[in-house]
Every structure is written in C-alpha cells, then in structure tokens.
Amino acid sequence: MSDGAHYLDEYLANVLPAVGLDVETYAPYVTGYANDDHDDGDDGLDDLIELLRASSESHGDDDASWEEFKKQIIQRRKDYLQSEDTRKELQLIKQQQQKASELQKQIDLAKHNSLELQERKRLDLESKKLENMSADKIALMAKFGYEAENDDDNEDEGEGDKPMTNRDHAAQTNLQNAQQQRSAYKQTKKEAQQETKKAKATKDAKKEERRKRAAKGERHR
C-alpha cells in the first residue's frame, strides 16, 4: 500500500466494478465506514451494503456476492487494525530503546568524567610530593620559607611532619609583626606614663621650692 492510499483501495478497485458499481463514486462510502469507530456491531455495514445493492445495476439480487463483500470488509478491517496495533507497539519499543540508549550514554559519560577528575586529583597530589618535585621547585620552596613542622601535638594526632605553605608562612609573618607592634605599643605607652610621672614630679618639686622661697622671704621681713 503506497503512502496516502487506503488499505481497502486495491480491493474496492476490483470488487466494485464486478458488482456493477463505479469505483470513484462508491469507494469513498466504504472507506469512510472503515475509518470510523463502530459501536453498533455490523448494523452500519449492513446499511452500507443495502445502499450499494440498491445502486447496483447488475447484482442487486445477488445475495452471495454481497455476503462475500461484507465478509471481506470485516476481515480486512480487522487485519489492518491488528497491524496498526503491532506497528504502534514496535514504535513505542523503539522509542523506549532510544531513550534507554541515550540514558546509558549519559551514565557512561558521567562515569568517564568522574574517573577523569579522580585521575587529575591523583596526579596533582603526586606532583606535590617532594620526591616528585623538580630541583627548581624545591629551591623555590626553600627560598620562600617552607619548613617542616615537628611538634608533639602533631605527633599525637598522627599527622607527622608536613611542609608549610606560602599562605601559612605569610600568616605566621603577619602574626609576628602584629605581636611586635603590640609589644612596642605597650613599651611606648609605659615609657610615656613614666615620662608623665617624672614631669609631674619635677613640676611638683619646683612648686614646692617656690613655696619654700616665698615662706623664707616672709620671715626675713
């Protein structure tokens, strides 16, 4: 059956002329019936056949021909509907298989990306190990203050020695500078207090000396 053709076209092109009916005129009646859903059993088909019989110029009274016509229409329609159900089921299975295939591709890609990421992390960790570093990098580490930590607390935690990073070194330097500034501030403040106290004592001594001189002058009068 070619695209756009009805599944009854070929059969009707042969049978309608055989019972004295024009194909172009009466085939659409039959295909229209076949395309509809029928809840009335064979009543609709019986009405259609009565119309065709009444229109036939040669086989209006030929009961056998019309019984065969009815039988063929029912069987061909049943076969077509079954084939359509099968086609739709196969199409659904194909779509499900395509979806499953796409999903599997996404899963495989996600696994690949995960493994690739883990491998990059592993290589990055390996490159940071001292034995895998170049001599130039080791020299730079020594130059910019990388030191091995070795205190009892870390030994208790089982961490062992580990190199100081640039960030740790900078933080330690900033802390030392802050502590030195704080100590200098305390020393300066203490010295200022001492100077103030000393100046007050000097002022008080001079004031007392002037008071004594004034008292002595009063006695001489």
Percent of the chain having pLDDT more than 90?
A: 35
How far is residue 180's CA from residue 174's CA, in Å, rounded to a whole number? 10
Mean pLDDT of 152-167: 53
- Are 169 and 140 in contact by the 8 Å Cβ rule? The answer is no
Q: What is the pLDDT of residues 5-48, one digit of tens each?
A: 899 999 999 999 999 999 999 999 999 888 877 655 577 889 99
Nearest 5°: the CA angle 104, 108, 109 is 115
